[in-house]
Amino acid sequence: MKLVPVTIRYSCGTIIKDRVSLDPTTREVHFSSRLTVIFLEMAKTEAAPFISISLSGHDFSVVQGSDGKHILAREKDRIHVEGFRSIFAPNRPQRHSNGHLAHLLSVASLAGACWSAASVTNWNLAAVEDVASFLICAALLGIAGFYCKRD
């Protein structure tokens, strides 16, 4: 066991810096009872935090295993975990970026609907469905972007 610095970030902006015990053989992270109490209290109102550990100048994320124990993510898993976390449990800047992307895709879908409608020479059911699908995607992405950028 060795003590390592940990940074715990919540989506509300709360950042907790402390030390935790790390078992180098199993890569299991052990939190103090004080941090465990803070986790339980914050879990009542906040989404799961992003936990990172600094080792040898590199930051590694901590993931919760299927058994509920916290383990240090492998370096190759780190990018995938952070990528999924930015989509499913984003912090505020990531949420705003996701909203910008949704709005961009909404505008692109609206442009696709206009281009598709302008290029149709013979209106039939397939052409109407094509334009309608673009418009529905534009509306849904616009609404998703609005909710992502809302505080």
Note the pLDDT tens digit of each residue in 8-38. Answer: 888 888 899 999 998 888 888 888 888 888 8
3-state SS, residue 59: strand
Q: Which CATH architecture has domain 2-88?
A: Beta Barrel (2.40)
Helix axes 125-149, 92-119, angle to 10 degrees: 160
Query: Residue 6 class from Cβ within 10 Å (0-12 exposed, 13-18 middle, 19+ buried)?
Result: buried
- How far apart (Å, rounded) are the C-alpha atoms in residues 45 and 28? 26
Highest mean pLDDT among 60-64, 130-134, 147-151: 130-134
pLDDT in tens, 122-146: 999 999 999 999 999 999 999 999 9
Q: What is the mean pLDDT of the chain?
A: 86
The structural domains of the chain, with segments of one domain joined by +, span 2-88, 92-149
What is the full DSSP assignment across 7-44? Answer: EEE-TTS-EEEEEEEEETTTTEEE--HHHHHHHHHHHT
